[in-house]
Amino acid sequence: MISLKEMAKKEDLFVSGHEMCPGCGIPVILKIVLRTTKCPLVVSNASGCLQSASTNFPATSWKLNWIHTAVENAAGTMSGIQATYSSLKKQGKLPVDKKIKFLVIGGDGATYDSGLRSISGAMERGEDFVYLCYDNQLYACSGGQRSSATPMGAATTTSPSGNVLPGKLQPRKNISNIFAAHEIPYVAQSAPWIWQDLYKKAERAFETTGPAYLNVLNPCPSMWKAPANKSIEITKLAADTCVWPIFEIKDGTKVTVNYKPKKKLPVTLWLESQARFTHLLKVENNWIVKKIQEEVDKDWEFLISSENKNRTN
C-alpha cells in the first residue's frame, strides 16, 4: 500500500486556484483519485459544484484533458469520446498500444437524478470508464435543493423543516446497489477520511476493464451547516454510525465490507454534527430519528449478510 508521503510526491492534476467552499471535500477526493492512474486521463465533468468552481474563465485548476458537459449527459459524452478514440486507433491515427483512461465526474444530482439514464445506458453497453460521484447529498450548486441522495429528515430549501414536515421524508436512494445490479465489474463506496481505502479503490477502478463506479461521500459545510474544520471528521462519523458504509461489490454480487466500526454508534451522533438535522433532536420528531436508525440498521445488516453469503458460497 502506498504511503501518504509517496502519494504526495505524485503529480497533482487538480491544482490550486479553484473556488471551492472552505471545508469542501471535493479537492481532497480529486487529489487522491487522480494520483492513482498511470495513464493519461480524459475527464467528462457534469455541471455542478466542481465544474463551476474549477473553470472560471480564464483560469482552470485542471492539468489534464477535460470537457464540461450538461448535468444530464456526462456519461453519454464520454461514450462519444471513447468511440472517437477507438475510431482513431482503427484508422491508424493513434498508436494501437497507446492507452488512455476515461473518467466521468458528477455530483449526486447529476448521478442519482438527472444523469441516471445516461449512466445506466453507458454501463449497460459496457463502456470502459470510471464514474466518480462526489456525493454531498443535495443540489449544493444551485441553492441547496433536495436530491434523491438527500438523507431522510434533512432540511433543504425544497424539503424544509417546520410545523408540517420534519424535512425530507424519504430515505436516500441506494445508488451503489442500483449500479451493482447492472452487474458491472466494480462498484465501491468510500470517503475522504479513509484515504488509503479511497486510493486503493480508485486504483482498482482504473485497472478495471469495463464500467467502474466510485461513490464518495463529500462533506459540504455550507449546506450541511457544519463547521468547515470538522468535514473529514464528520465523514468518519458517517462510517462509524453506518450511515455511509465503506464497501465494494465486484461483478454485481461479490460484496466486501472494507470498514466495520469496532462499536457501531447511534445515528443521533451523526444528526447532532450538522445543523440541517437540528429539528430532528426535538422530542416531537423522535419518531423520524427512530425510523432513520431502523433504515440504517436494515441496510447494514443486509450488507453484512451479503458479504457472509459470498464467503459460504
Instruction: Please give the share of the chain, as a percent, with pLDDT higher than 90.
Output: 88
What pLDDT score was predicted for residue 312? Answer: 65
Instruction: Please give the share of the chain, as a percent, with pLDDT higher than 70.
Output: 99
For the residues 220-247, what does the mean pLDDT come to? 97
Q: Is the pLDDT of residue 310 over 80?
A: no
With cell 436494515, the residue in question is: 298
What does each C-alpha distance from 54 to 18, 63, 227, 239 come to in angstroms?
5, 11, 23, 29
pLDDT tens digits along 204-227? 999 999 999 999 999 999 999 999
Residue 145 and residue 143: Cα distance in Å, rounded? 6
4-312 fold:
Rossmann fold (3.40.50)
- At 40 the three-state DSSP class reads coil
Q: Is the pLDDT of residue 96 over 70?
A: yes
pLDDT tens digits along 54-81? 998 888 999 999 999 999 999 999 999 9
- At 59 the three-state DSSP class reads coil
What pLDDT score was predicted for residue 309? Answer: 79
pLDDT tens digits along 105-141? 999 999 999 999 999 999 999 999 999 999 999 999 8
Contacts of 83 (CB under 8 A, 6+ apart): none
With cell 474563465, the residue in question is: 57
Got the DSSP string for 203-244? HHHHH-SS-EEEEEE---HHHHT--GGGHHHHHHHHHHTTSS
| Per-residue confidence band for 313, with pLDDT thresholds at 50, 70 and 90 | low
- For residues 210 and 101, the answer to whether their CB atoms sit within 8 Å is no
pLDDT tens digits along 270-303? 999 999 999 999 999 999 999 999 999 999 999 9
